């Protein structure tokens, strides 16, 4: 009797894909809100960058957590997504932090 294969992606696989794509979303979100609200208060502009920092930090954290799925899925499935997500998340963190420093928000606190 044929039994259907379990094609549902696991938690670690979803987390690895989140680690890959969320840095792009963080940068697009931060810049999108910044340029959409350039005529409004600085509060929403800085909050958009802080939201981008949080999303990038969760990307780095997710790339480290998804390494626990190597035992179940094999290293070929997880490791490339984890390393790409870690690098992209780290670059997004550094870039958004540099923008906040250049805007003078972090130095004033």
pLDDT per residue over 38-82, tens digit each? 666 666 677 788 888 999 999 999 999 998 888 887 778 788 989
How far apart, in whole angstroms, are the C-alpha atoms of residue 45 and residue 3? 53
CB 62 within 8 A of CB 88: no
Q: How many domains does the chain have?
A: 1
Q: Is residue 8 part of a domain?
A: no
Q: Is residue 45 part of a domain?
A: yes
Q: Is residue 108 part of a domain?
A: no
Counts of helices then strands in the chain (DSSP H, E): 4, 0
Of residues 46, 59, 60, the one with CA closest to residue 106: 46
Residues spanned by the domain of 87: 13-103
Q: Please indicate, yes or no, whether the overall pTM of this predicted structure exceeds 0.85.
A: no
Token pair, residue 78, equals: 């997880």
Is the per-residue pLDDT at 16 higher than 80? yes
């Amino acid at each position: 009797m044929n039994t259907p294969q379990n094609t549902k992606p696991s938690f670690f696989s979803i987390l690895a894909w989140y680690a890959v794509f969320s840095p792009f979303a963080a940068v697009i979100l931060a810049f999108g809100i910044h340029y959409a609200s350039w005529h409004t208060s600085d509060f929403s502009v800085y909050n958009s960058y802080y939201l981008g920092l949080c999303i990038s930090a969760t990307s780095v954290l997710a790339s480290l957590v998804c390494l626990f799925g190597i035992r179940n899925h094999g290293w070929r499935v997880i490791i490339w997504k984890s390393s790409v997500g870690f690098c992209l998340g780290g670059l997004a963190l550094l870039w958004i932090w540099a923008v906040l420093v250049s805007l003078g928000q972090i130095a004033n606190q």
